[in-house]
Amino acid sequence: MRKLFFYFLLLIHINTIAQLNNQLNEYYQLVNMAELNIVDNNINEAYLNYRKAFKIKKNPFGLDQYNFAVCCAILKKKNESFKYIKSLIEYGYTKDSILNNRELNYLKSSK
């Protein structure tokens, strides 16, 4: 009976890990598409792909947040841009290094 219980727990654990891997894989695919959209200068599509990715991973990687903040700034979505800039500062990025970006320049005067 113990072995059966152990195998049951092991099966649940493996299934959970597989689901997490699938979600993380989907996150990476969406971020990759967003980055390709940026290269193609399709900022609206990049914005949408980042939004989908961030629904999957609630605490996105810093570089992804930075790129999304730039997309928001280009699309004049100041509130969203500030939200992710604030998150980056809390993550350890310096305000000056973030706002050094040309697209984020206009935010300096919009505090």
pTM above 0.75, yes or no: yes
Average model confidence (pLDDT) across the chain: 82
Q: Tell me the pLDDT tens digit for each residue of 19-51.
A: 556 778 899 999 999 999 999 999 999 999 999
pLDDT tens sequence across 63-103: 999 999 999 999 999 999 989 989 988 988 887 777 777 77
Instruction: Write out the chain in H/E/C secondary structure.
Output: CHHHHHHHHHHHHHHHHHHHHHHHHHHHHHHHHHHHHHHCCCHHHHHHHHHHHHHHCCCCCHHHHHHHHHHHHHCCCHHHHHHHHHHHHHHCCCHHHHCCCHHHHHHHHHC
The more confidently predicted of residues 2 and 8 is: 2
